[in-house]
């Protein structure tokens, strides 16, 4: 653990699972978290009951104040009331922060982004790396600016990919790599010892917000390899959907095959097959391809 006397005091912004992994690392590393800023509680599930973000529950259990502003301007007076100007840390908060909020912090707000910027600016860099069959990805620690993911970079760390990663697996791996990196370099950022490197705007690429309809697989225009990557990239959300002999299923795992020996070997645009290994049936039950064939196709 780094000496507590040299650790900067932090206001932490985050809402998603990645945020929680980073916050836990900062807490166990001895950082003083003055407050956690997260989205307001939201209705969830079929009953639409109000649900607290997991990061709020963690912060409350560790006696960290939680701010849930509907508008970020609501935190301005709270930050000004602090005895010293804190550093901001953001990981998967879910909103673009205005310049007025960025200016509340010194040297600003430090952001963890799960890609090797300037590649894959935007909300779905992990899925994009899988869909595009990249051989590497990584994390970037950057100084946040009002333009999305365009700020200068403090540090990056690469991760080589096997081509078998699913979104949940890769998400957690990158979150832990990023959490370790940001915990290590924050003191040098706060002291001004770590220099910034501007991003190359000409090399910037962008990824889009994933929607539910993106999960639909049309094998007539999709190769088997593309479909298999989609299954892995969308395993968390929205999951890959396909119709087999009139039954719509959600695919949990699949592989590419050269020959067909089952109704769950789906012919794709390139003449190869997407072999479905496990799935969620129309009943909502998770099952193997063999169980589905016995229950629905026999």
Both 194 and 235 in one domain: the answer is: no
DSSP for the chain reads ---GGGPPPEEEE--SHHHHHHHHHHHHTT--EEEEE-PPPEEETTTTEEE--HHHHHHHHTT--EE--SSGGGGHHHHHTSSSPPEEEESS-SSPPPHHHHTTSSS-EEEEESS-TTTTBSS-HHHHHHHTT-SEEEEEEEE--SSTT-S-EEEEEEEE--S---HHHHHHHHHHHHHHHHHHHHHHHHHT-SPPB---GGG--B-PPP-GGGGB--TTSS-HHHHHHHHHHTTTTT-EEEEETTEEEEEEEEEEESS--STTEEE-TTS-EEEEEEEE-TTS-EEEHHHHIIIII-
pLDDT, tens digit (0-9, with 9 covering 90-100), for 152-211: 999 999 999 999 999 999 999 999 999 999 999 999 999 999 999 999 999 999 999 999
Mean pLDDT value across residues 94-99: 89
Any bridge partners for residue 274, and if so which? 256, 266
Cβ-contact 53, 43 below 8 angstroms: no
Do 199 and 224 lie in one domain? The reply is no
Given this model, what pLDDT does residue 65 score?
96
Q: What is the mean pLDDT of residues 227-238?
A: 97
CATH code assigned at 255: 3.10.25.10
Dist CA 180 CA 177 (whole Å): 5
pLDDT digits (tens, 9 = 90+) for 281-292: 999 999 999 999
Mean model confidence pLDDT for the chain:
94
Q: Are residues 221 and 276 in the same domain?
A: yes
Q: Is the pLDDT of residue 4 over 60?
A: no
Give yes or no: residues 194 and 264 share one domain. Answer: no
Please report the pLDDT score of residue 3 as a whole number.
46
The confidence score (pLDDT) of residue 51 equals 85
How high is the pLDDT of residue 189?
95
pLDDT, residue 2, reads 46
For the cut 90, the answer to whether the pLDDT of residue 83 exceeds it is no
Residues 230, 191: one domain? no
Same domain, yes or no: 276 and 197: no
**Same domain flag for 8 and 141:** yes
Q: Which structural domain, as residue segments, surrounds residue 151?
A: 4-203
Highest mean pLDDT: which range of 37-46, 128-137, 145-154: 128-137
- Tokens 């889009």 belong to 208
Q: Same domain, yes or no, for 184 and 217?
A: no
Structure tokens at 159: 């991760």
Q: How confident is the model at residue 96 (pLDDT cuts 50, 70, 90)?
A: confident
Answer yes or no: do 221 and 196 share one domain: no
Domain count of the chain? 2
Q: Which residue has the tokens 């979104």?
A: 167
pLDDT on residue 1 = 44
- Residues 176, 69, single domain; the answer is yes
63 by Cβ neighbours in 10 Å (0-12 / 13-18 / 19+) ranks as: exposed
Whether 224 shows a pLDDT value over 80: the answer reads yes
The domain boundary residue, chosen from 203, 228, 257: 203
Calculate mean pLDDT across residues 262-271: 94
Instruction: Specify the pLDDT at position 135.
Output: 97
Same domain, 156 and 68: yes
Residue 142 pLDDT greater than 90, yes or no: yes
- Domain final residue pick, 203, 233, 259: 203
Q: Are residues 36 and 68 in the same domain?
A: yes
**pLDDT number for residue 7:** 85
pLDDT of residue 49: 79
Average pLDDT over residues 262-269: 94
């Amino acid at each position: 653990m780094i000496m507590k006397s040299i650790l900067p005091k932090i206001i932490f912004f985050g809402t998603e699972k990645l945020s929680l992994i980073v916050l836990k690392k900062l807490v166990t590393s001895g950082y003083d978290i003055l407050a956690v800023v997260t989205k307001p509680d939201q209705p969830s599930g079929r009953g639409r009951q109000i649900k607290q973000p997991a990061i709020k529950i963690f912060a409350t259990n560790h006696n960290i104040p939680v701010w849930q502003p509907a508008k970020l301007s609501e935190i301005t007076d709270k930050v000004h009331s602090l005895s010293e100007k804190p550093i901001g840390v953001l990981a998967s908060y879910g909103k673009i922060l205005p310049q007025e909020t960025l200016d509340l912090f010194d040297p600003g707000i430090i952001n963890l982004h799960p890609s090797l910027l300037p590649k894959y600016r935007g909300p779905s860099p992990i899925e994009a790396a899988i869909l595009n069959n990249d051989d590497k990805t990584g994390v970037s620690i950057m100084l946040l600016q009002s333009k999305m993911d365009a700020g200068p970079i403090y540090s990056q760390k690469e991760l080589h990919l096997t081509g078998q990663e699913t979104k949940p697996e890769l998400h957690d791996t990158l979150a832990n790599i990023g959490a370790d990196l940001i915990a290590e370099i924050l003191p040098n950022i706060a002291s001004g010892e770590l220099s910034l490197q501007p991003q190359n705007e000409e090399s910037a690429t962008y990824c889009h917000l994933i929607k539910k309809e993106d999960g639909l697989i049309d094998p007539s225009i999709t190769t088997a390899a593309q479909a298999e990557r989609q299954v892995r990239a969308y395993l968390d959300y929205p999951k890959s959907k396909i119709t087999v002999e009139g039954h719509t299923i959600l695919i949990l795992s699949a592989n590419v095959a050269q020959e067909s020996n089952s109704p769950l070997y789906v012919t794709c645009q390139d003449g190869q097959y997407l072999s479905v290994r496990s799935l969620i049936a129309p009943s909502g039950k998770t099952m193997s391809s063999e169980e589905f064939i016995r229950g629905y196709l026999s």
